[in-house]
Structure 1
């Protein structure tokens, strides 16, 4: 339904409201206008001026917008309340019902032409799609939100940019994810708009693709800048997300105890805020920390907790990512059959355009299991499949590691020339750590946030 604001529609509303209140045309006109003018308006022959609209709305006890558009005065408030309820469902790890809530808000906002709440509803739908692993839909929702906010300052568009970048990251397009985030960070800093929440959101988001691309130095720099911004941020959920992202850089630097402490702080904030989806991801990351430290029983416990929480929340793609980590722990604990079943099951649900990095991780682990069980041909097949998937994503660190594994396999089976070729390929991926689509890393915010 299109909201009508033409003279005829306003005249009909004016007449209806006057009659509902038992007023004559002369009584409604009062001292400001004449009964004849009110009659002309009700007949739809002219459209009232803004001054007349305001005057007549006051006489009728409604808002000017309600008289001009027919929208109930409380509509915007009702829609914002519905948005809040949908956001609470999403925070509680219920993306299905949350998505229904956001969709209902968007449909009514479009029908009633309440533009102000449409971007927030689209952002919510995008986040629900991310949680459920529907990456193409997520991108579409974030792009639509960006289009609606096109004339707004960049800080107001940061959440949509970040959402689109995460969707590309999860689908294996690491370089484009970096490009989106780096461009937004540079534009935000160059414009002299160092909004702390927007910058924190973008710096925390760029850590993930940097780490997956093997750009550990850049990830650490982004983490330092984000930590410097944290005291000025107004959203505690952002700060919690920062600690979770920073933990990845600490793990890469071998600072396991500090990483675990950072995750513990994030976990406390998520528990306080009742953000169960993010809390599940904290358990996942702590499982990874324990795994890196060789504490395999603790790692398995944390990862299984994360997996159960994410499965209940129907966060399918994130559940698959935890499966890769859990399978690695099971392999290292000598439970090869259990790990293999888990990996084969998730490969049926992943592919080149949906979790390519994690599908590659699954093939890598299946290759290791085959290698450890004395099946070099099966190991080679899985390693080659993993390489094919990773070459599409630019995940340099993982590519170098796979080249080492495949080169070792070729060398052990007497294929020295092939081994040398693969080793050289791996060294090529290691030769340019930190390279991204744009070349130089994003500039630091003005004002010297770090020393």
Structure 2
């Protein structure tokens, strides 16, 4: 991550350690601009001031008033802000335009390339003491790091953005909260991701800041960790609240994300046709916005929908499309997660060797390899990969190897609080243990699974957040 904000050098004088808004810095700036324009102190001063005042100001012994700044700026052909702060005229507006360009680069290209742009823009915002623009750069950089799978650094970026905006209204900090929650979810910390989102929703409602855009973003973001934890009722409630807010939101990217999130709850409820329709709406919006990563996620989810409906050929096609799109963007973590789900479809289609060839590299990469699924980086999908390899080994008749994979998956999923996945895994492992004569171990394993299935998302989470007044 880029270094901590540093004090900028005074523009044009090469002196470090002096704040750009201190009298010394302002005086040197006035002296430089006056000299460049060939003006004498008298010419700069008259008719409102004296040459002696200009001399005192240039030596840094007096801070100019706003009226004096306006007078000198007019004579020097600049702006009062540039004289007072050292920022070139229109710098903040120019930075915001370039931040939008960097966002477009992230939407259409590789996250590493966009990250380079955001890092440079952040350094420029730090130099010119523009905290709002620095926060925007950090948010963009955090999103780049989410795509590439650098989750710890992504959390740092989102946290730094929150701190920069600490004195701003909570609505300004919501995108940073959403980013931090996404990083925790991808790390396998589902409960904490839910806590962050729920707490922020409650704070918004308690403070009377019923901002539709912010609430829609938070409710949509909470759907995925709720479902991963098995808290389907809460996920459905979050989807209902998001749909109720949608008519009050104009941002097409937010609406597309909402349709994608709602589709997940519809899939969980078995409402496949409605889920596919919701995904089609999201896909249309992402195509209009040219946001390739989210468009790939729509193909990914449609593949999952077809797999749930038993149409494995179409599922494979959609997942292959998603994988190719994400791989072309070098969105490493998302590509690996799609490969796990594609491997499941391939296994179900009888293409066992192809499935195994996809899965093993995802788990055997070294701990320092950014391409490895492991605790802290794609833990839920790492558990799913072990589960699939266990099924393949069982199919092949190698019960010890299957058991090894099931046991490797269990702590990954338990740590992530993925209740439904833990229950299913315990069923598989219990069946294997019972079949191999270890009945007592099987019973203990079944009990573990039942314990997770009995209370998903109820004892582990606090009261559900209230909806806003509509």
Using the size of structure 2 for normalisation, the TM-score is: 0.92
Work out the CA distance in 2 between the residues paired with 1:43 and 1:254.
75
- 1:334 deviation in Å? 0.7
Equivalences for 1:335-354 in 2 at 5 Å?
Answer: 335-348=351-364, 349-354=372-377
User: Is it true that 1:428 corresponds to 2:435 in the alignment?
Assistant: no
Query: Conserved in 1, the CA contact under 8 Å of 2:276 and 2:305?
Result: yes
Query: Conserved in 2, the CA contact under 8 Å of 1:283 and 1:306?
Result: yes
Work out the CA distance in 2 between the residues paired with 1:161 and 1:205.
10
- 1:39 deviation in Å? 2.7
After TM superposition, the structure 1 stretch with the greater mean CA deviation from structure 2, 44-53 or 423-432, is 44-53
Equivalences for 1:79-90 in 2 at 5 Å?
Answer: 79-90=95-106
After TM superposition, the structure 1 stretch with the greater mean CA deviation from structure 2, 218-227 or 379-388, is 379-388
Deviations 1:381-418 (A, max 9, x none): 11111112111111101001111111122222232222
Work out the CA distance in 2 between the residues paired with 1:193 and 1:319.
37
State the partner residue of 2:398.
375
Query: Conserved in 2, the CA contact under 8 Å of 1:139 and 1:163?
Result: yes
Deviations 1:115-170 (A, max 9, x none): 23100000011000000000011001011101101111111000000100110100
Secondary structure in 2 aligned to 1:283?
helix
Assess, with a 3 A threshold, how the Cα gap between structure 1 residues 44 and 425 changes in structure 2: closer, same or farther: closer
Assess, with a 3 A threshold, how the Cα gap between structure 1 residues 198 and 177 changes in structure 2: closer, same or farther: same
Secondary structure in 2 aligned to 1:433?
coil
Query: Conserved in 1, the CA contact under 8 Å of 2:191 and 2:461?
Result: no
- 1:93 deviation in Å? 3.5
Work out the CA distance in 2 between the residues paired with 1:228 and 1:184.
19
Secondary structure in 1 aligned to 2:39?
coil
Structure 2: segments with no counterpart, 5+ residues: 1-7, 11-19, 365-371
Secondary structure in 2 aligned to 1:121?
helix
- 1:351 deviation in Å? 1.1
State the partner residue of 1:331.
347
Deviations 1:310-343 (A, max 9, x none): 0111111101110111000001001111111111
User: Is it true that 1:94 corresponds to 2:116 in the alignment?
Assistant: no
Work out the CA distance in 2 between the residues paired with 1:90 and 1:413.
51
Query: Conserved in 2, the CA contact under 8 Å of 1:179 and 1:437?
Result: no
- 1:436 deviation in Å? 6.1
State the partner residue of 2:4.
none
Query: Conserved in 1, the CA contact under 8 Å of 2:132 and 2:164?
Result: no
Work out the CA distance in 2 between the residues paired with 1:100 and 1:345.
28
Work out the CA distance in 1 between the residues paired with 2:459 and 2:34.
65
User: Is it true that 1:31 corresponds to 2:47 in the alignment?
Assistant: yes
Deviations 1:171-194 (A, max 9, x none): 111111111111111111111101
Higher relative contact order (CA 8 A, sep 6+): 1
Query: Conserved in 1, the CA contact under 8 Å of 2:403 and 2:429?
Result: yes
Query: Conserved in 2, the CA contact under 8 Å of 1:178 and 1:436?
Result: no
State the partner residue of 2:210.
194
Query: Conserved in 2, the CA contact under 8 Å of 1:2 and 1:113?
Result: no
State the partner residue of 1:287.
303
User: Is it true that 1:440 corresponds to 2:459 in the alignment?
Assistant: no
Work out the CA distance in 1 between the residues paired with 2:23 and 2:340.
63
- 1:438 deviation in Å? 4.0
Work out the CA distance in 2 between the residues paired with 1:134 and 1:8.
42
Correspondent of 2:422 among 390, 399, 411: 399
Question: How many residues of Structure 1 are paired with residues of Structure 2 in the alignment?
Answer: 447
Work out the CA distance in 2 between the residues paired with 1:437 and 1:153.
30
User: Is it true that 1:40 corresponds to 2:56 in the alignment?
Assistant: yes
Root-mean-square deviation (CA, aligned residues, Å) is 1.4
Work out the CA distance in 2 between the residues paired with 1:248 and 1:141.
28
Secondary structure in 2 aligned to 1:192?
coil
Work out the CA distance in 1 between the residues paired with 2:342 and 2:132.
43
Work out the CA distance in 2 between the residues paired with 1:307 and 1:45.
64
Work out the CA distance in 1 between the residues paired with 2:55 and 2:94.
34
Assess, with a 3 A threshold, how the Cα gap between structure 1 residues 5 and 440 changes in structure 2: closer, same or farther: closer
Work out the CA distance in 2 between the residues paired with 1:424 and 1:11.
76
Structure 1: segments with no counterpart, 5+ residues: none
Using the size of structure 1 for normalisation, the TM-score is: 0.96
Equivalences for 1:414-425 in 2 at 5 Å?
Answer: 414-425=437-448
